[in-house]
Amino acid sequence: MFLWVVPFLILPGSYLLSRVKRGRVIRYWIYFAILLCSFLFDLTGTSFRVDFFDTLLFLGTTLALCEFFWWFNFIKNRTFFRVVFFGALTFFILSYHGWIILGPQKISTLWESEIVDSYKGNTGNYRIKEKNKIENGKTFRVFYLYKEMDNPFFEQIIGLFTVPADYKKAIFSFKWINTAQGVRLDMIGDKDTLWTLGEGISNTVKWKLY
């Protein structure tokens, strides 16, 4: 329940923090580190091996951005501030709509991913995780292909695929192949290769349906 209500506390909490002058410099340096980390993670496709830390980083990034947002409160043009506020509030709700819809009983499914397969390739160790994603009020299965980094705390995302609604209950098996560019992962349903993820295929996802 506590973790589920955290997003609801960020907006009023960030407003109160924006009014606190004590320790502001230290707090802003912490925010800078969080935002820089989020930027570099997004730029390089890096994430924590423990999914919960990714969630904490996302929450920390939201808190930092929300506190900086309250600077607009000092603008004398109140109409402009209201427009900015409702725009930011809409963006905030859209960012956390899946979190809100799941409710306190199922919220942990957003970060409790399942490692469905792993592989030791010529270019490193890989694993594929299955997670849930909320979109338009519906839950979708998403497979993520990760490559372990030298640092034991981080991994790099190689590709992802959102399972279409028609395959929501499908059972998948996985075939790993070493290539000159890196690992290729074939996702197999029954006896057919339905989707392919891997290095040297595309920047994000390569899939095919026979």
At residue 167, the 3 state secondary structure works out as helix
- DSSP conformation class of 208: -
The pLDDT tens digits for 150-180 are: 888 999 999 888 888 777 788 888 989 888 8
- Residue found under tokens 């849930």: 132
Q: Evaluate whether 91 touches 41 at the Cβ level (below 8 Å).
A: no
Its pTM stands at 0.79
The pLDDT tens digits for 14-70 are: 889 988 888 889 999 999 999 999 999 999 999 999 888 998 999 999 999 998 888
Q: Angle at Cα 146 formed by Cα 133 and Cα 50, nearest 5°?
A: 70
The CA–CA distances, whole Å, from 93 to 8, 86, 96, 105, 162 equal 10, 10, 5, 19, 22
Q: What is the predicted pLDDT for the residue at 193?
A: 78
Q: Evaluate whether 81 touches 25 at the Cβ level (below 8 Å).
A: no
Assigned token pair, 148: 């372990």
> Does 203 have pLDDT greater than 50?
no
